[in-house]
A = this chain, B = another copy of it.
């Protein structure tokens, strides 16, 4: 089980890349690559934060937040990330879904209690 905690984000609008995935049993290089991607994404322009969980059955949800669609494309087109995704498709994931969404509204426990 790996897990991150709450992303601290600016006021909307911004974009979410919702990545749901099922890991295979194949582990060759997965951990190192995942760690490298975590180091790399924080250096990308417009990256705002991420929240991530993976369960013991290998099902995971990662949501990465960016300021604009253009910066999501820059991350998609980063050569190391593109290589990692290709390995992911071939080896590490038996299925995944990617959904690109524009966050329009946001609130949290503190803002609800003030309201």
Task: Write the residues of chain A forming the contact surface with B, with a CB cutoff of 8 angstroms.
Answer: 1, 3, 5-7, 9, 12, 16, 18, 20, 22, 51, 53-57, 59-61, 63, 89, 93-109, 112-113
Identify 7 residue pairs between A and B in the complex whose beta-carbon atoms are under 8 Å apart, listed by A's number: A18-B103, A53-B53, A95-B108, A96-B108, A98-B106, A100-B103, A100-B106
For the complex with contacts A3-B59, A6-B97, 16 further pairs of A-B residues with Cβ separation under 8 Å are: A1-B1, A1-B55, A5-B22, A6-B95, A9-B97, A16-B16, A53-B59, A89-B109, A89-B113, A95-B109, A99-B106, A100-B103, A100-B104, A100-B105, A102-B102, A102-B104
Select the residue from A18, A53, A94, A101 with max chain B CB neighbours within 10 A.
A101
Q: How many copies are assembled?
A: 2
Are B51 and A61 neighbours in the complex by a CB distance under 8 Å?
yes
Query: How many Å from the CB of A31 to the closest CB on chain B?
Result: 18
Are A105 and B99 neighbours in the complex by a CB distance under 8 Å?
yes
> CB within 8 A of A59: which of B5, B94, B106?
B5
Contacts of A57 in B (CB 8 A): 3
Contacts of A106 in B (CB 8 A): 97-100
